[in-house]
Structure 1
Amino acid sequence: MTDQNVSSSPVREVEVAIAGAGFGGICMAIQLQKNGINDFLILEKKSEVGGAWRDNHYPGAACDVQSHMYSYSFETKSDWTKRYAPWNEIQQYILDTVKKYNLRPHIHFNQEVVSAVFNEGTGKWVIKTVGGETIMARHWVLASGPLHVPAIPDIKGLKDFKGKVMHSADWDHSYNLTGKNVASIGTGGSAIQYVPEIAPKVGKLHVFQRTPAWVIPRDERGYSAFRKWTFKALPFTRTLHRWRLYWTNESRVWPILNPWMARIGEGLLKKFISYQVKDPALVKKLTPDYTLGCKRILISNKWYPTFNRQNVELVTDGVREITPDGIITRDGKERKLDCIILGTGFIVDPRIYMKSFEMRGLNGHTVQEDWKVSPTSYLGITTANYPNMYQLVGPHTGLGHNSIIFMIEAQAEYIIQCMKKVKEKGVDYIDVKPQAMVRFLGEMGDALKGTVWSSGCKSWYQTADGINFAIWPKSTWRYWMETRTVNEADYNFVKCGGAKASGKTTGAGSSSMGGMAGDQAMARVAQR
């Protein structure tokens, strides 16, 4: 990048810029403060913090990870009301944490990032927002998370529907569903929560299912006043409870890594479905034909019984088109509707939701080109040819069995280490070597073999071509072990105009594995 690319508007310079004020961005900001790095700002595209928990407030919205685990280890909460907290309680926890650590002065709201370009002359990122701000930052952290861009299905006629259309992540509480004919498209994590809540209110509810989900029972017990008092008066009991939950969750990885164990669970769940649903034909339609754990396992006590209601229909024929008055399925039947609810989840593939976002690194590298086959990174944190850029919940760090907050904390601590090494070595930037990234992706590919994720089913963990880019296919404690220290041999350390790279002096970019060498490494990644 040259100086002419920098906006003529005032440029704010900071040490660290963070995109996103959800769990990831807030965790990163707090860790920066704890390590004496106070020159940072958070760029948030909405008008409030919270990320997914700000946006997802549909009826019944709640977390599928236990509340005492779905919180920061350094900021535990003694008075969670239930084993699994509802959305508003989690959002309030985020608001309280932001207030406690005085983060609001660091947050710029309504400032969606539209471009981030690395300046090879200064070793800094030039970041521009939709609100016209230009920020120059030494370090650039992507903390937007994978669940922030709603997936709107490409169905013929959807835009012509005359009734109400809303996505679960943009629920309109002012719309009265009472007595209405409603269609819910999708049977994922959001739908299994809101469908049982709206079923008693609507006149008729048509639930459109493409693929059934494995749904297990949910522990709905609340914490008693005495238990909450104990957690507050004796903090070590809170810690012990958290650790018990962690290891209980961690034990769930074994059926995932050993499909024969998952099949035992399938047998039990099939009996559970038969017990919960009265109609044998519905039982068959609601029973998945793929290995337990291949797609995200959902939890609910209300999902299966909902289909015993006379006003609820499970539709599996598939949508042919949407008319101004309703939906026509592939069998030619039309259902007249007042409202269509899209429980179709989110676009988790960054190649799609970043397709119009300019992200340019060394030697003209762009994520659109480098991630053409699949999103790639090292440890889900750093990416070759994008110096001083870090991701939270990046490729291969999603989970199917435990709390993502655990992973976020490990990543934030690793990023802090990277920043400290840049300062200690007196260089301008750190850049992961393509060889290290290729090695890591090879390890992920090997680890995925023989797991439930290699059984052939399609899920949002994968690209359209079937590459599993999202999941961490090991125990979470192993990720913690791998991110405890930065292996300097996996990185180049560069000073603009002549610097250190892996302990040796080089000019800026001369040993950064950019250009053809970097392209060849990326080609190897594509062949994994």
Structure 2
Amino acid sequence: MSTTAPATRASVLIIGAGFGGLAAALELARSGRDDFTLLEASDSIGGVWRENTYPGCGCDVPSPLYSFSFEPNPTWPMRFSLRDDIHAYMRRVASKYGIDRRIRFNTAATGAAYDDDRGLWRVETRTGEVFEATVLVPAVGQLSRPAWPTIPGQDTFGGTAFHSARWDHDCELEGKRVAVIGTGASAIQFVPQIQPQARHLTVFQRSAPYIIPKPDRVYTALHHTLFRRLPFLQAAERLLCWSFFELVTTGLIGNKPIASMFGALARRHRRRQVQDPDLLAKLTPDYPVGCKRGLLSNDYYPALAEPNVTVETERISEITPNGVRTADGTEHAADVLIYGTGFTATDFLAPLKITGSGGAELSQVWRNGAYAYLGMAVPHFPNMFLMYGPNTNLGSGSIIYMLERQARYIREAVSYLDTSEASALDVREDTAHRFDAEMQRRLERSAWAMCESWYRDANGRIATNWPGLVSEYDRRTKRLDLDAYRIR
């Protein structure tokens, strides 16, 4: 990295202004600090809630839980809020705590290097501006970069093609033949929205998801009044949601009766909504419950049962100028091709190039799979703490709960560096490797180890998910454990 450009200084530099970056910044601001800066590549905050604008985009975690614990929102319009309301909530909270004044928009970080002699992180940006900070907090998330499948002939398609995370709102779907590749969390939200518009909709499914009913409801003006005047009512709903997801998690990490209960709930939901036996067979998962992300929807199955929809389970062999060809030789004609193929969840911190102490390159340290102590600290990268890092994703529950715990831990680390003679905290190699070994050992006993999914990286490691209850993560991150670090 260049060392000649003058640098803008900050005590803490946060990369990314999605929920992770906001959580870190809010924790610092609420503790009375203002010596931090956020770098945001876009022109506004929001992360996935800025980028994803597809029809029906929303959250499958109830809003009373999918919000900051210290900043409840009594006016959520519904229990499972949509993208616009979540994005508005983020902007409102950032403005209330003055976070938006600490953000450098349109400033994309391209790389970061640790200066051993000066004990500082030096971060370069696409604009050429350089920043220096004592503490570096990458908060670029796991679900920010679309995953594109590699299919022969993709460049030959003659119609309009786009990824659901980069929705083409100029593309008119009315009366068109639309092909959707993928049946994950995004697809089950946008398919019911576009089905009435399409002349014909073909959904290409590699594996059927487990889907349970979505207990959604509209919050009326009375709800809003009660939540505002009696906040314990909304707090009680938040606690109920939190407890439900903890129960679900026990099924994912080994409680077979709980897993069976949710499997039965999904089966009952499927059979009640799908009458056609051939379609029912296609929509029945052939893998253990919980192995892939479980979904909630009340309108996906009915949309697939409409006469203008075909669910295709044959393997795709190629994309042609006129549509999609499957392994049985059938060409499925399409005017529009939508990829609902998710995100590159295991490519942590891509495309940043990060160099730590002694010239250690993070891409090399992670060549066999990403890992971090408590999902935050990597050996030889002093004073670097990740938000939403390896093994902190959830198969069930609110990621904001996890982000608040990480932000609390990072704030304690920053405070320690302020009040002690230490210049840097560098997690011990044996501590980090022991933690990673524990994670992988526990994950191999979980439902996520029973099939292939986006939870696994190219080496087969489950580098994304936390293998326990969120209450355990809360306990393990409650205090800064100095014994885990080499103190410089």
Aligned to 2:484: 490
Within-5 A mapping of 1:98-109: 98-109=94-105
Aligned to 1:337: 334
1:33 corresponds to which of 25, 29, 33: 29
2:296 corresponds to which of 296, 299, 317: 299
Q: Equivalent residue of 1:350, what SS? A: coil
Q: Equivalent residue of 1:314, what SS? A: strand
CA distance in 1, matches of 2:45, 2:140: 11
Counterpart check, 1:214 vs 2:213: no
CA distance in 1, matches of 2:352, 2:27: 27
- Tell me the number of residue pairs that the alignment of Structure 1 and Structure 2 aligns: 487
1:357 corresponds to which of 345, 348, 352: 352
Question: Per-residue displacement from partner, 1:161-185 (whole Å, max 9, x unpaired)?
Answer: 1211111111122221000000000
Counterpart check, 1:468 vs 2:462: yes
User: Quick check: 2:212–2:265 contact (8 Å CA) kept in 1?
Assistant: no
Counterpart check, 1:440 vs 2:435: yes
1:450, distance to aligned residue in structure 2 (A): 3.0
2:145 corresponds to which of 144, 149, 153: 149
Counterpart check, 1:181 vs 2:144: no
User: Quick check: 1:378–1:441 contact (8 Å CA) kept in 2?
Assistant: yes
CA distance in 2, matches of 1:334, 1:397: 41
User: Quick check: 2:440–2:461 contact (8 Å CA) kept in 1?
Assistant: no
1:200, distance to aligned residue in structure 2 (A): 0.7
Within-5 A mapping of 1:16-95: 16-95=12-91
Aligned to 2:425: 430
CA distance in 2, matches of 1:84, 1:66: 5
User: Quick check: 2:211–2:269 contact (8 Å CA) kept in 1?
Assistant: no
CA distance in 1, matches of 2:264, 2:47: 37
CA distance in 2, matches of 1:224, 1:383: 47
1:485, distance to aligned residue in structure 2 (A): 0.6
* Larger RCO, structure (CA 8 Å, separation 6 or more): 2
Question: Per-residue displacement from partner, 1:107-136 (whole Å, max 9, x unpaired)?
Answer: 111111111000001111110111111001
For structure 1, list consecutive stretches of 5 or more residues without a partner in the other structure. Answer: 495-528
CA distance in 2, matches of 1:220, 1:207: 25
2:236 corresponds to which of 220, 237, 240: 240
User: Quick check: 1:48–1:109 contact (8 Å CA) kept in 2?
Assistant: yes
User: Quick check: 1:14–1:137 contact (8 Å CA) kept in 2?
Assistant: yes
CA distance in 2, matches of 1:405, 1:24: 8
1:364, distance to aligned residue in structure 2 (A): 1.7
1:274 alignment partner AA: R
1:328 corresponds to which of 308, 325, 330: 325
Within-5 A mapping of 1:268-279: 268-279=265-276
Within-5 A mapping of 1:386-397: 386-397=381-392
2:403 alignment partner AA: I
1:307, distance to aligned residue in structure 2 (A): 1.8
User: Quick check: 1:274–1:280 contact (8 Å CA) kept in 2?
Assistant: no
User: Quick check: 1:7–1:134 contact (8 Å CA) kept in 2?
Assistant: no
Counterpart check, 1:285 vs 2:282: yes
| RMSD of aligned alpha carbons | 1.4
CA distance in 1, matches of 2:82, 2:265: 28
User: Quick check: 1:259–1:291 contact (8 Å CA) kept in 2?
Assistant: no
1:447, distance to aligned residue in structure 2 (A): 2.3
1:475, distance to aligned residue in structure 2 (A): 0.8
Question: Per-residue displacement from partner, 1:224-283 (whole Å, max 9, x unpaired)?
Answer: 221210110122222222222211221111211235221343234223312211221111
Q: Equivalent residue of 2:85, what SS? A: helix
Q: Equivalent residue of 2:12, what SS? A: strand
Question: Per-residue displacement from partner, 1:329-364 (whole Å, max 9, x unpaired)?
Answer: 11111122110001011101125x62x532100122
Aligned residues with identical type, % of pairs: 37
1:449, distance to aligned residue in structure 2 (A): 4.1
CA distance in 2, matches of 1:155, 1:445: 31
For structure 2, list consecutive stretches of 5 or more residues without a partner in the other structure. Answer: none
Aligned to 1:370: 365
Question: Per-residue displacement from partner, 1:45-92 (whole Å, max 9, x unpaired)?
Answer: 111110101111111111000001000011110011111001100000
2:412 alignment partner AA: Q
User: Quick check: 2:12–2:135 contact (8 Å CA) kept in 1?
Assistant: yes
User: Quick check: 1:164–1:339 contact (8 Å CA) kept in 2?
Assistant: yes
Change (3 A) 1:78 1:333: same
CA distance in 2, matches of 1:103, 1:264: 43
1:481 corresponds to which of 450, 468, 475: 475
User: Quick check: 2:356–2:381 contact (8 Å CA) kept in 1?
Assistant: yes
Q: Equivalent residue of 1:390, what SS? A: coil
Counterpart check, 1:254 vs 2:244: no
CA distance in 2, matches of 1:268, 1:484: 36
Q: Equivalent residue of 2:337, what SS? A: strand
User: Quick check: 1:6–1:126 contact (8 Å CA) kept in 2?
Assistant: no
Please, which moves more after superposition, 71-80 or 101-110?
A: 101-110
2:227 alignment partner AA: F
Please, which moves more after superposition, 342-351 or 471-480?
A: 342-351
Aligned to 1:314: 311
CA distance in 1, matches of 2:3, 2:367: 29
CA distance in 1, matches of 2:31, 2:425: 19
CA distance in 1, matches of 2:142, 2:394: 12
